[in-house]
A and B are shown apart, each in its own frame.
Chain A
Amino acid sequence: MPAQFGHMLKTALKIFTQINREKATGMLDFELKELENIFALLILGGFAGLPSPPSPIAMELMPYMERELTILLSRTDLSQDPLGVLMGMLEID
């Protein structure tokens, strides 16, 4: 019984620590996604009329940018409600 209780306590502490870790890095994670989104926009901007590096440079980088492209697409979905996203991240109801 005490061993089971100890195990439960350990798990609870682990979850608690992880929640705090997630909270601590939430803002950094948001900033990172923004930076990755900007990076993808800079590379592919030429296709949407934005200033961009010569398209051959974009072509050379594209094979390694799957993560950035996925973020760019998800950011496009969220762009309808940017304030909502920001408020959600700052935990403002």
Chain B
Amino acid sequence: MHHTAFFLGKGGVGKTTLSSAFALALARTGKKVLIASLDPAHNLGDALKTTLSGEPRIVEPNLEALEVDLAQWVDKYLDESRAQLKATYSYNLTLNLDSFFSILKYSPGTEEYAMLWAIEDIHCRLAPAYDFVVFDTPPTALSLRFLSLPAISGLWVAELTKLREKILQRRQTITRLNPESPVAASCVDKSDDKVYGKLGSIRARLSMLDALFSKQSFLSVIVNPDELSVREALRIKEELTRLGIPLSAVCVNKQGVSDAAWEQTPELKNLPQFIYNFSRDGITTRDDLTAIGAEPLIRYFLEEGKKK
């Protein structure tokens, strides 16, 4: 059964509005729901008319929400690595560690990884207490990067594991032939080798996240009735297909915002479509979110979830 829903799309199409309307309507059916914002420019709290933090806060009965603090996750991750390095390495190697870590904070990929570990934390630590978890994602570029990380990193880890196995095999042979060799003092067994063990644990975490994205989640792309957001949605669909992650539905938001002629592109037409009219009076209260009408999408989400 699907327990997790992701809302993707171009910046400004209404991901936060639709995901919070979806979570709110789902919670009001009696299900316990957690909604988490992964967007570094958080506005989930604004949409739900409340103040949020990195830990779940009660919005109303059955609905809790949080905004992932990426900077805090990056710091936590680097602090853990720094502590491990200091504990293992000799003093002279760790002399300039602090300046090295302050550079790593801005290294490409660190933010995406922090996001991945934040999703893992929500999925493993928080999700069991809820019926459903809804993710409001950042705009396309960042979302696609973190969705593709488990698959890409998985390839690297698989290759590194193969090479490590080869190294351990050679160490075993040398130790067998020459027990007094200095190699005998290093780890020769897979069970003793910490690098092999660490590669295994990274692979297990990445596989779990890969399965979460590709098999256990309901991914919905949001478009507006305009060419730019639809083109970006097509790119999202292509990229997700390449990664083996199926797209479940298309939400057309702000229908009627313009009088210009518009027709859904054939590539997205084969997916279930959910239309949301442009709200001319704006969304000023939390109850306005329920007036959007997320019920048909919720019915489809629950039906699809049962099939899984």
Interface size on A, residues (CB 8 A): 31
Is the CB of B291 closer than 8 A to any CB of chain A?
Answer: no
Compute how far the CA of A57 lies from the CA of B109 in the bound complex, rounded to whole angstroms.
10
B176 to chain A, nearest CB (A): 9
B84: chain A residues within 8 A (beta carbon): 63
Judged by a CB distance under 8 angstroms, whether B183 is at the interface is yes
Contacts of A25 in B (CB 8 A): 173-174, 177-178, 181
B216 contacts partner chain A, Cβ-Cβ < 8 Å: no
What is the number of contacts between chain A and chain B, taking CB atoms within 8 Å? 95
- Tell me which residues across on chain B come within 8 A of A65, comparing CB atoms: 195
Decide: B160 and A28 in contact? CB cutoff 8 A: no
**Are the C-beta atoms of A55 and B183 separated by less than 8 Å?**
no
- Separation of A42 and B164 alpha carbons in the complex (Å): 12
| Interface residue from A35, A43, A62 paired with B170 (Cβ < 8 Å) | A35
Contact A64 B194 (CB under 8 A): yes
One of B109, B164, B177, B181 near A55 (C-beta < 8 A)? B109
A60-B198, A64-B194 are known contacts. Are A28 and B180 too (CB-CB below 8 A)?
no
A57 x B77 contact (CB < 8 A): no
Q: State which size class the interface on B falls in.
A: 35 or more
User: Which of B17-25, B29-37, B85-93 participates in binding chain A?
Assistant: B85-93
Alpha-carbon gap, A62 to B94, bound state (A)? 12
- Nearest CB on B from A55, distance (A): 5
Instruction: Specify which chain A residues have a CB less than 8 angstroms from the CB of B93 in the assembled complex.
Output: 66, 69
The digit string for B192-211, where 1 denotes a CB below 8 A from any CB of A, is: 00110011001000000000
Instruction: Output the least CB separation between A17 and chain B (Å).
Output: 10
Interface string of A39-78 (1 = CB under 8 A from B): 1001100000000011111011111111111000000000
CB < 8 Å neighbour of A39 from B90, B157, B164: B164
Contact residues of B between 84 and 143, Cβ < 8 Å to A: 84-85, 87-90, 93, 104, 107-110, 112-113
Interface residues of B in 143-182 (CB under 8 A from A): 149, 152-153, 156-157, 160, 163-164, 166-167, 170-171, 173-174, 177-178, 180-181
B153 A63 Cβ-Cβ under 8 A: no
User: How many angstroms between the C-alpha atoms of A61 and B90 in the bound complex?
Assistant: 16
In Å, the complex CA distance between A38 and B170 comes to 14
B68-96 interface code vs A (CB 8 A; 1 in, 0 out): 00000000011001001101111001000
Does B277 count as interface, using CB distance less than 8 angstroms?
Answer: no
**At the interface, yes or no: B53 with Cβ under 8 Å from chain A?**
no
Instruction: Tell me if B177 and A36 are in contact (CB < 8 A).
Output: no
Known: A36-B167, A57-B156. 14 other contacts (CB 8 A): A39-B167, A42-B163, A43-B160, A53-B160, A54-B113, A54-B152, A54-B153, A55-B104, A56-B77, A61-B160, A61-B195, A63-B88, A64-B88, A64-B198
